[in-house]
Amino acid sequence: MNMIEALLGNQAGGIVEQLGQQFGLDESQTSSALTALLPALAAGFQRNASSQSGLDSLVGALSGGQHGQYLDDIQNLGRPETVDDGNGILGHVFGSKQVSREVAQRASAQSGVGADILKRMLPIVATVVMGAMAKRQFGGASTQAGLGPQVGPQSGGGGLLDMLAPMLDADRDGSMVNDVIGMIGKFMGGR
C-alpha cells in the first residue's frame, strides 16, 4: 500500500476502508484496485500539466474547487455529487469515457477486481487524488504569501507534480520518464 500511503498519508487506511465498504471489497482488493488505478490517473494529470495552459487549468481547479472536502470527511466519497465531480475530473484528465473504460479494463486485469466495479470506483478515486493534491498545495505551508502554490519543476521537492512521482515510477528505477511514456501510450493511445 506504499503508493497509496505516499499519496494519502495517514488517511490512506480510512479511504481504503471507506472504498472497500462502498464497493464490497476487502482491504486487499481495494488496495490492489487503487494501486492499479492511481498510475493511470497520475499519468493523465502529468500529461495535462505538461503544458502551461494545462497546468494553469489544474491549479485553477485545485484552488477554486472544494476538493479537500473528500479527505476532510471521507463519508463524502459515498455521495452522488462525488461521482459527478469525479466524472468531470476524468473528462479533463482522460478526455473521453472510452479512455476511462480502457483504464478500468487494464486495471481489472492487473488487480483482479471486476472492470464494472473499477469503472464505478474511478471517478471517486479521481476526487481523492484531486483532494490530496489540493490539500498538499493549499492545506498548509505549500503556498508562499501572495505567490500562489508551488506547482512546476522549479518548485523542487514541494511541487504539485512531485507528489505524483511515486505513482509514476512504476518500475522503481528512479526515473518516471519511461514509465509516463509507457502509461500514456497504453492509456491514451486510442485518443
Q: How many other C-beta atoms are found inside a 10 Å radius of the C-beta of residue 120?
A: 14
Q: Which of 26, 29, 35 is nearest to 8 (CA)?
A: 35
- Would you state the pLDDT for residue 118? 97
The residue with greater pLDDT, 182 or 176, is 182
Could you give phi then psi for residue 73, rounded to 5 degrees? -140, 100
C-alpha 154/C-alpha 23 separation (Å) is 40
Here the cell at position 62 is 485545485
pLDDT the model gives residue 158 = 41
Q: What pTM did the predictor assign?
A: 0.73
Strand partners, 144: 148
Tally of residues, the chain: 191
Residues 63 and 138 sit within 8 Å (Cβ to Cβ)? yes
Q: Are 131 and 68 in contact (CB under 8 A)?
A: yes
- Residues 69-124: pLDDT tens digits? 888 888 889 899 999 999 999 988 888 889 999 999 999 999 999 999 999 999 99
Specify whether the CB–CB gap between 56 and 22 falls below 8 A. Answer: no
pLDDT digits (tens, 9 = 90+) for 125-172: 999 988 888 877 766 433 333 333 444 433 333 455 555 555 544 444
